[in-house]
């Protein structure tokens, strides 16, 4: 069977897609482009209206280019709007997030690990790192967010299950894993006995092997001293990289978003991370145009971000998600204003990234080669070109170059 997987959205979707691709490959199926595939799996996102639109357009394009393909759609858009997705041309099956365990049998594969229990090596879906999902679902109630509806409540994998997957992917040759979850910081709270993310990180820190863990997005309230102690205490194991979603710098808007912290607490956290991990990349997510956002509040957000030691931003223009509390809020911001505010923050993000890269220029950092081996990603999340002669998935020490140059140190 020839198959293609098209993935939108977050690292959890990427983890789910990687698992499917690993199982299909191990079962003897061949990955091809969507134009020539017998089956195309589209793993959708619904975090914004434009995510929905991207999925719709992609499904229409796949059907136009390859009318004979069986299109199977899963993920958050398929879970939120199954009737709408099923009516799109060429769609033969919908698999909501709650039924993802049926996905592999539907695609004709019995096991998530392939017949011999092995995982195909790095390069699946063009990725060098393995995305290791620790949990899914979320118990928070952020007023703008559709995810608790599409993913359900928080469900953690057991420590044994996570470590077993880690050992399989290390045996397959992976050297970096991205630890992820819909609400990663909630890991262990639903397990018996109760557990906490810090304990999972300790287990990963003490696991034998030559590998690095990149902790993906962590809610500010979950980036505790215990978590920072483990990450900062094991620099050879954990990448100097955190992603701490802020969403807004105005406390009234944070309250309206039902985010359980203030800007003062968030700023103190970023300062603490910077003190403990001086070389770290620290990313953030921000929402512009939340209902009621004034010019003054938008200015306050830009002002905080410009002065912060954050290093890059993901900017999300607000859009109503059906059935969320924010959908019912008054004071919707005009689309043109949202667009302008988003553009301003993307400019701020570029400034922060340039500032970080300039500060890092000339420093030697550990890095892993990706793609064809001509590029490496440092532990602190800088892409650095490397001279020819390297393959994908090799450790190198690189001297961080200015934007136009590159020097490999090892």
Strand order in the sheet with 395-399: 383-385, 375-378, 364-370, 395-399, 407-408
Residues with Cβ within 8 Å of 82's Cβ and at least 6 positions away in sequence, in order, are 94, 96
| Residue whose CB is less far from ligand SF4, 213 or 254 | 254
Residues with Cβ within 8 Å of 97's Cβ and at least 6 positions away in sequence, in order, are 74, 75, 76, 78, 79, 136, 150, 151, 152
Q: Is 69 in the site for ligand SF4 (CB under 6 A)?
A: no
Strand order in the sheet with 130-136: 155-156, 130-136, 176-181, 212-215
Rounded to whole angstroms, the Cα distance separating 119 from 263 reads: 43
* Binds ligand SF4 (CB under 6 A): choice among 147, 177, 338, 400: 147
* Binds ligand SF4 (CB under 6 A): choice among 40, 71, 85, 138: 138
Using the contact rule CB under 6 A, the part of the chain among 51-59, 80-88, 142-150, 340-348 near ligand SF4 is 142-150
For residue 221, which of 156, 292, 138 has the smallest C-alpha distance?
138
How would you label 239-250 residue by residue, b for 16+ Cβ within 10 Å and e otherwise? Answer: bbbbbbbbbbbb
Closest approach of ligand SF4 to the CB of residue 245, in Å:
7
Closest approach of ligand SF4 to the CB of residue 258, in Å:
8
What is the x/- site pattern for ligand SF4, positions 206-225, by CB under 6 A? Answer: -------------x------
Q: Is 142 in the site for ligand SF4 (CB under 6 A)?
A: yes
The number of residues that bind ligand SF4 (CB under 6 A) is 9
Closest approach of ligand SF4 to the CB of residue 93, in Å:
26
Using the contact rule CB under 6 A, the part of the chain among 48-56, 89-97, 145-153, 299-307 near ligand SF4 is 145-153
Closest approach of ligand SF4 to the CB of residue 202, in Å:
24
Closest approach of ligand SF4 to the CB of residue 259, in Å:
7
* Binds ligand SF4 (CB under 6 A): choice among 62, 94, 145, 263: 145
Closest approach of ligand SF4 to the CB of residue 37, in Å:
31
Phi, psi of 317 (to 5 degrees): -65, 130
Q: What is the DSSP string of 316-344?
A: EE----TT-GGGG-S-PPPHHHHHHHHHH
* Binds ligand SF4 (CB under 6 A): choice among 38, 140, 279, 394: 140
| Residue whose CB is less far from ligand SF4, 142 or 345 | 142
Q: Is the peptide bond between 181 and the residue preceding it cis, with omega within 30 degrees of 0?
A: no
Q: Is 320 in the site for ligand SF4 (CB under 6 A)?
A: no
* β-strand pairing of 130-136 with 176-181: parallel
Rounded to whole angstroms, the Cα distance separating 56 from 295 reads: 33
Using the contact rule CB under 6 A, the part of the chain among 75-83, 118-126, 134-142, 203-211 near ligand SF4 is 134-142
| Residue whose CB is less far from ligand SF4, 121 or 152 | 152
For residue 247, which of 179, 293, 205, 202 has the smallest C-alpha distance?
293
Q: Is 183 in the site for ligand SF4 (CB under 6 A)?
A: yes
Q: Is 287 in the site for ligand SF4 (CB under 6 A)?
A: no
Using the contact rule CB under 6 A, the part of the chain among 135-143, 156-164, 198-206, 325-333 near ligand SF4 is 135-143
Opening angle at CA 55, ends 32 and 329, nearest 5: 155
Q: Is 394 in the site for ligand SF4 (CB under 6 A)?
A: no
Closest approach of ligand SF4 to the CB of residue 127, in Å:
23
Rounded to whole angstroms, the Cα distance separating 34 from 59 reads: 10
Q: Is 182 in the site for ligand SF4 (CB under 6 A)?
A: yes
Q: Count how many residues are written for the chain.
A: 410
| Residue whose CB is less far from ligand SF4, 113 or 250 | 250
Task: Count Cβ atoms below 10 Å from residue 265 Cβ, excluding itself.
Answer: 13
Answer yes or no: are the C-beta atoms of 215 and 241 closer than 8 Å.
Answer: yes
Q: Which residues bind ligand SF4 (CB under 6 A)?
A: 138, 140, 142, 145, 147-148, 182-183, 219
């Amino acid at each position: 069977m020839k198959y293609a997987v098209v993935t939108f959205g977050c690292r959890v979707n990427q983890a789910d897609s990687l698992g499917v691709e690993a199982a299909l490959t191990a079962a003897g199926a061949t990955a091809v482009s969507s134009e020539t595939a017998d089956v195309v799996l589209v793993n959708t996102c619904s975090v914004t209206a434009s995510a929905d639109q991207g999925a719709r357009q992609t499904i229409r394009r796949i059907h136009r280019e390859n009318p004979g393909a069986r299109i199977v759609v899963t993920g958050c858009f398929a879970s939120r709007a199954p009737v709408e997705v099923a009516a799109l041309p060429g769609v033969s099956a919908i698999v909501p997030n709650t039924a993802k365990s049926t996905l592999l049998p539907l695609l004709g594969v019995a096991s998530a690990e392939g017949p011999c229990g092995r995982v195909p090596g790095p390069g699946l879906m063009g990725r060098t790192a393995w995305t290791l999902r620790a949990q899914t679902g979320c118990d928070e109630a952020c007023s703008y967010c559709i995810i608790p509806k599409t993913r359900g409540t928080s469900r953690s994998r057991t420590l044994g299950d996570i470590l077993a997957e880690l050992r399989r992917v290390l045996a397959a040759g992976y050297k970096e894993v991205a630890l992820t979850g819909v609400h990663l910081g909630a890991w262990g709270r639903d397990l018996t006995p109760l557990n906490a993310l810090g304990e999972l990180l300790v287990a990963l820190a003490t696991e034998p092997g030559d590998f690095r863990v990149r902790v993906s997005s962590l809610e500010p309230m979950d980036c505790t001293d215990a978590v920072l102690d483990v990450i900062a205490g094991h620099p050879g194991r954990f990448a100097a990289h955190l992603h701490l979603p802020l969403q807004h710098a105005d406390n009234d808007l944070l309250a309206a978003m039902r985010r359980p912290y203030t800007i003062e607490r968030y700023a103190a956290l970023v300062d603490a991370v910077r003190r403990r991990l001086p070389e770290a990349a620290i990313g953030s997510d921000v929402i512009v145009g939340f209902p009621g956002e004034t010019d003054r509040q938008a200015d306050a957000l830009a002002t905080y971000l410009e002065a912060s030691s954050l290093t890059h931003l993901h900017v999300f223009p607000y859009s109503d998600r059906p059935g969320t509390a924010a959908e019912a809020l008054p004071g919707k911001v005009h689309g043109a204003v949202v667009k302008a505010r988003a553009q301003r923050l993307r400019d701020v993000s570029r400034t922060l990234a340039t500032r970080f890269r300039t500060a890092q220029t000339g420093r030697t950092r550990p890095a892993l080669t990706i793609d064809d081996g001509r590029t490496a990603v440092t532990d602190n999340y800088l892409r650095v070109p490397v001279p020819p002669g390297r393959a994908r998935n090799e450790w190198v020490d690189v001297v961080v170059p200015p934007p136009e140059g590159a020097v490999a140190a090892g």
